[in-house]
Structure 1
Amino acid sequence: MRHLYVHVPFCPSICPYCDFHVLTRSSGLVEGYLARLDAEAQELAATYPVDLDTVYLGGGTPSFLRDNELTALVGSVQRHLGWGRLENTLEVNPGTVSAGRAAHWRALGFDRASLGVQSLHDPTLLFLGRRHSAAQARSAAGHLLAQGFRVSGDLITAVAEQPLEEDIQGLHDLGMGHISAYTLTIEPGTEFARRGVTVSDEDERRGFEVTAERLAALGYERYEISNYARPGERSRHNLSYWQNRHYLGLGPGAAGHYPARDSGLLSLRRTSPHLHDWLRGERGTPDLLPPHEWVTDALFMGLRLREGVDLDDLTQRSGVAVAAAYAPAIQSNVQQGLLIRDGSRLRATEAGWWVLNEVVTDFLEVDVGAHQADS
């Protein structure tokens, strides 16, 4: 197990578009969280061989933890599971950053920061329910870069009246080596959904296209459908998801992808329950993946990458003759200009990225029972 995701569910406030497992802190809750996290880290270490390349603290708002709390969390991870050799990322809210705190996070061993800028336009931030200002975001980026962090800036697109080109240029000018650009999505159960907020098809399409055009012109490579990087700035941790690798999930609401011990299965996914059940020691029900389900997962995730997937590699890893099993779906989407097949390499076109969920649906409908690869 070379990758670890740690979920920190605490936030200073809940954004109206957020459907992640997050909550505001209350007396004793963080202390209980840290104690349970230490015990769960020990359990994972006893269950799986661990040699970490990457660690990612997400949330929630990990940088909302007080300095002593984050120090304790990192201590638990390092004591039981070690630390990432290649990359250690901390998700950061701009309103939590100071020069001193950035130095403290760097001293703890974090070398990459994912900064939740979302926009550099104060009216857009107000609409999104963000509590930081554009000025705070600029200041935060400066503090992190001054400490030697590799910094990724989050950007939300498709917000009505958002000056998107200015936001993109602003993130570039701040010195972001990596930008993650996500369309505003209205999820059921969120405050935006209750208020009847909608995202127009026109704004969604414009955000998708303008972001790609402007960031390419500024020298960023679009290496994944929503992620852009300068040379050497790709997220090594997130690549483990898109390449369908195994990874540990630590904390309430954390998802993990683990090897299966049953020879008839290829792997299992497990999402931990929300905080209060997790504090009682509940683990969540595993989702067991036979080889054909693992392959469709790998296709769904891998086709998000610019280089796509290597069908021979998927065959070797799954035991399913992938090119043969999915030949009709591959051919149909190639003919429609949504996929490109180059030898064993299969990747999505720009048009295919726009309708990727529909493309993957074609693969889900395939019966692969007769297509076991030769041993």
Structure 2
Amino acid sequence: MFASPLDDTVRHLYVHVPFCPSICPYCDFHVLTRRAGMVEAYLSKLAEEAARLAQTYTIDLDTVYIGGGTPSFLRDSEIRALAEAIQKNLGWGRQENTLEINPGTVSPERSAHWQALGFDRASVGVQSLDDATLRFLGRTHSAEQAKAAVSTLLGAGFRVSGDLITAVPKQPLEADIAGLVGLGVGHISAYTLTIESGTEFARRGVQVHEDDERAGFERTEELLTAAGFERYEISNYARQGEQSRHNLSYWTGKTYLGLGPSAAGHYPAGPMSKGQGSKSLRANSAFPTSFSTHNPQPTTHDPLTIRRTNPHLHEWLAGTEGKDLPIDAEEYVTDALFMGLRLRSGLDLADLSRRSGLEVQEHYAAPLAQNIKRGLLTLEGSQLRATPAGWWVLNRVIGDFLNQA
């Protein structure tokens, strides 16, 4: 008999704040500028949704992440209402509570306000410390504002992560990295500029050449490693103990709540009413309590988890339900491979087999062997890792597993 050890308690929360003072030309997230009454309606609906989630799932939060959009664009009273709605209905993260922040919204007074609300980690959209690069990216803050914001937040006691965009035409990458490191941040997220369809950059015909992407990808690692940062994930670097605990929940396949318009969540397969035990959950859902030894692998009709994506703001405000995607064992495994291989540490296939009920090394023997032979993956015991070459073509690697499935 096989009983899935997946944790029925949800320990992570993502909240989407869709409002921005302006829309960056590279951004393809669900964002919009605020209009009269819209934020008030958003906050009211957010509290309703938080209460509903609290009644549906067993929740004991380790991390909370408020992203967007520009959450720090909310007025002080609005962000207080947001935090209170979360804390009242869902609790607060024991390990980490992150607020995404635009440098132009920071002051000593606001930093103290955010900290008083319970935020202890700031993810700051620096993007560059070069004014010409910032103008090209459509950012509304200056390099000096970014430096002042980071210094203010560090001085207030926040753990600070700085976002950096690489492969921008004419960007002084080495100076950007040196400047951000010199400010004293403990974490840096470095993303290659990507031109997504439907964005202003796409309409303008802006292009990023693969040679520039690869050069930025490799040079960033060289410089940050030399500065004492560990590249623990494809795009993320941290000093000792400064990893993003919330984002690690995504990369290690944990369940999490998605709150707000366009927010995505990863949920236990069977909704569990507050106060009910796991037996009640499984008795009232398609989540199997066990797998017969005569049929040890779950079928594609046995969801292990559910991925739900909320609609955009206007539909969300009108009460439109999010779209649910049941995740069976094979999809759970390929999702876990795609996310876990982003980590330098990779993932343990024996643990993944235990979580999914699928014998991963046996089921995916062919793509494992092919990509190990190509030098894109390594397997030591049951620990699977992507090589630096594999990181660069990770989508192709995962495609091989999807084709096998």
Counterpart amino acid of residue 204 in structure 1:
E
Q: Cα offset for 1:283? A: 1.9
| Whole-angstrom CA distance in 1 between matches of 2:303 and 2:134 | 45
Provide, for residues 208-229 of structure 1, a one-character-per-residue CA deviation record: whole Å limited to 9, x for no partner: 0100100000000000000000
Counterpart amino acid of residue 248 in structure 1:
L
| Partner residue, 1:282 | 320
Select 1:20's aligned residue among 23, 26, 29.
29
Say if 2:175 is the partner of 1:166. yes
| Whole-angstrom CA distance in 1 between matches of 2:173 and 2:212 | 10
| Percent of aligned pairs sharing the same letter | 68
Say if 2:245 is the partner of 1:236. yes
| Whole-angstrom CA distance in 1 between matches of 2:43 and 2:68 | 14
Q: Cα offset for 1:297? A: 0.3
| Whole-angstrom CA distance in 1 between matches of 2:118 and 2:106 | 16
Say if 2:167 is the partner of 1:129. no
Within a 5 Å distance, the mapping from 1:48-197 to structure 2 comes to: 48-197=57-206
Counterpart amino acid of residue 157 in structure 2:
G
Within a 5 Å distance, the mapping from 1:217-228 to structure 2 comes to: 217-228=226-237
Say if 2:286 is the partner of 1:260. no
| Whole-angstrom CA distance in 1 between matches of 2:204 and 2:394 | 29
Q: Cα offset for 1:96? A: 0.4
Say if 2:356 is the partner of 1:347. no
Q: 3-state DSSP class of the match of 1:141? A: helix
| Partner residue, 1:338 | 376
Q: 3-state DSSP class of the match of 1:131? A: coil
Select 1:301's aligned residue among 336, 339, 343.
339
Q: Cα offset for 1:291? A: 0.7
| Whole-angstrom CA distance in 2 between matches of 1:48 and 1:206 | 45
| Whole-angstrom CA distance in 1 between matches of 2:73 and 2:360 | 44
Runs of 4+ in 1 over 4 A off after TM superposition: none
Q: Cα offset for 1:282? A: 1.3
Question: Structure 1: 5+ residue runs without aligned partners?
Answer: 368-375
Q: 3-state DSSP class of the match of 1:273? A: coil
Counterpart amino acid of residue 117 in structure 2:
L
Q: 3-state DSSP class of the match of 1:365? A: helix
Q: Cα offset for 1:203? A: 1.1
| Whole-angstrom CA distance in 1 between matches of 2:169 and 2:157 | 35
Question: Structure 2: 5+ residue runs without aligned partners?
Answer: 1-9, 271-285, 288-301
| Whole-angstrom CA distance in 2 between matches of 1:344 and 1:283 | 40
Say if 2:343 is the partner of 1:310. no
| Whole-angstrom CA distance in 2 between matches of 1:307 and 1:177 | 19
| Whole-angstrom CA distance in 2 between matches of 1:142 and 1:218 | 19
| Partner residue, 1:371 | none
Q: 3-state DSSP class of the match of 2:316? A: helix
| Partner residue, 1:370 | none
Say if 2:307 is the partner of 1:269. yes
Q: Cα offset for 1:284? A: 1.6
| Whole-angstrom CA distance in 1 between matches of 2:61 and 2:269 | 19
Q: Cα offset for 1:353? A: 0.4
| Whole-angstrom CA distance in 1 between matches of 2:112 and 2:234 | 32
Q: Cα offset for 1:144? A: 0.2
| Whole-angstrom CA distance in 2 between matches of 1:155 and 1:170 | 11
Say if 2:250 is the partner of 1:250. no
Q: 3-state DSSP class of the match of 2:322? A: coil
Q: Cα offset for 1:316? A: 0.5
Provide, for residues 314-346 of structure 1, a one-character-per-residue CA deviation record: whole Å limited to 9, x for no partner: 000000000101111111111111101000000
| Whole-angstrom CA distance in 2 between matches of 1:139 and 1:120 | 11
Counterpart amino acid of residue 342 in structure 1:
E
Provide, for residues 200-248 of structure 1, a one-character-per-residue CA deviation record: whole Å limited to 9, x for no partner: 1121011101001000000000000000000010000000000011000
Q: Cα offset for 1:285? A: 1.4
| Whole-angstrom CA distance in 2 between matches of 1:272 and 1:285 | 6
| Whole-angstrom CA distance in 2 between matches of 1:156 and 1:21 | 19
Q: Cα offset for 1:281? A: 1.2
| Whole-angstrom CA distance in 2 between matches of 1:359 and 1:305 | 15
| Partner residue, 2:12 | 3
| Partner residue, 2:274 | none
Q: 3-state DSSP class of the match of 2:378? A: strand
| Partner residue, 1:208 | 217
Q: Cα offset for 1:136? A: 0.1
Provide, for residues 98-120 of structure 1, a one-character-per-residue CA deviation record: whole Å limited to 9, x for no partner: 01001100111000000000000
Q: 3-state DSSP class of the match of 1:17? A: coil
Higher relative contact order (CA 8 A, sep 6+): 2
Counterpart amino acid of residue 60 in structure 2:
D
| Whole-angstrom CA distance in 2 between matches of 1:39 and 1:84 | 20
TM-score, structure 1 as length reference: 0.97
Provide, for residues 157-202 of structure 1, a one-character-per-residue CA deviation record: whole Å limited to 9, x for no partner: 0001100000000110001100000000000000000000000112
TM-score, structure 2 as length reference: 0.90
| Whole-angstrom CA distance in 2 between matches of 1:281 and 1:41 | 14
| Whole-angstrom CA distance in 1 between matches of 2:250 and 2:226 | 27
Q: CA RMSD in A?
A: 0.5
| Whole-angstrom CA distance in 1 between matches of 2:55 and 2:102 | 33
